[in-house]
Structure 1
């Protein structure tokens, strides 16, 4: 018998934790294709007053002409998303204990079903799902990475094959586990390697930990084989990246970075960065964002060769998930553009953010960033009705936007005016 997550329970978010406590030893069973005895899913209610209220809030969202937004699914704590290569299911991570599977069975632009993925397996901050082109699902948790082969086809069962890529306690040393900056993201690159961003847990890394963190890849991005072998530190000098994607044209990796708090309303800027070579360092902790020096390191000479952002965003807007648009549905000006989600500020006297940004590039490579979808922040009251986290592209070229405040995923699509 399936349990149904009602509107009230959607807000509670801890449904099913008791069952998960007994699932800690199930990884060995799943790795060996054995059953665990788990039978039930948690299914999220998709209609009702709660969904109606979330949908109504979307009437306030401003978009360019021809674009529309609608509620795709109610998804508790919706964070980063991975769209299945076959277009069957989209997996949504959280900063709690669940990964959700969204399925639009009749292809009407709305999910018909949202249920928890692999309920027989306990998870800890499974924020970052990503797919390989051949259908391997990876989920980066607080301190491990698991692979789920053929998850897009086996997710209908409570038991799915799951194997360690990086075992529990080996993504970072256990002594550096923290409640802060532990939401990981991942991508599989054109080289077939798995890339994982590791936020460092401090506002500014303490001087005595700089060398250790650099060696471990904390405050950086690591690269490894999809089997977990040949791990290496790819780049460093990153405070807390919670969004990255490969440029489909150049095959190079770009990433967002959340910058230092407590420096005032207007500094330091948020960042979108471009990696052109392994071993590059991107400024932290000598710089708090852009070329703004941190107070803690202002008297120290920065290392040579630091790389500064390609795009500077509004301070404290909290730039998170990002992706390059490769679809054919949107107008031509958006082909190859970066869509990125701004979660919204907390460390600012006048709130800012809670929107989706778009960054386009001129022929000479000059970037221009501007709001694409906004209205989740009431400018008069400073109140948030939603906080975008991630963006993902469906196979039809429409755009998904996750929102962990409302507990929802939205879909943005384009229809030519007058068409």
Structure 2
């Protein structure tokens, strides 16, 4: 028998629960750790001084330094050789380097240097490059020569080698001790076996108790999440998505693309305003779930529910396609609550759009365009894909994606940096 698991990945991501494919509760956020280096020196022959501070946390790499003018040229050459001149900006008394995505920022003056790097979005190669540049900058600012640094590093390597040899001897000693201990334990095997069996039984009982508690907490978490949605609650990570450029929504679409959302959103917002359910369209939270609807924390009446349900069906939304819609300014997020994710890939395979239902496929589905494994599709295919998504209860939106990593492993929702997904994660065991 196959068991279906739905999980939500994030350092601290709270994701929505789903009626047909409920996610497991999010894992608690990890505790940030940081390492900071700082030093300062003052020359005996002048009033000039040097200082350098390096902070390296899970989220950021930062360097701040002050130094005499004679360090400026070497530092400028180092940064230019590392970052080049593509993203360089020269002003009066300073040079700056930064890219369009605001991943990094470097500012150099004749007497100061500032470096910052966002580790949440930077690639491993870029992180390695900045760490190396920071180490070289530290050498330049402190006035140490490269040779002196190499000698220091060699001494450190020699020390580590001696420590490794010592540990090897210790390992051999422990191995001999383990052999003696094994013989002793062997003599008491029968008694230890009985004790181990009792301990295993105790652990098994404890595991069952913890499993029951975990299921209870899972059910409670889903109830809390559902109540929060109904009351108009917006999680921190949905708010973060609504501030993300990738969720910007233009509100226009070619009528031949089968993207039903632009017309739905226009009619929905206009009706909500006419019915005095909202006073402004700048910020809206709307949920339709289990034949009930909620807007900004207010449940619609039965008559209003019938009116909006008819509106959705007329626009092409499937009867059981429950969803939550969030809007802030010109940004939107649409989360499906019971989408048929696996069936999407079965339908794509039947139409010959993918080679099999066991190969990696990732689709970026913003409505007007669809990208399959990095390749943009033509309008005819976009229309065909949108129709398949619509028939399976999935509403495309800017920044949204659907993915099959392999047979039985599926994703639907929004990526949040490299830290997880807001949406649905299905793993079939």
TM class by shorter chain equals under 0.3
- Quick check: which has more Rg, 1 or 2? 2
Bigger share in strand: 1
Q: TM-score, normalised by structure 2?
A: 0.23
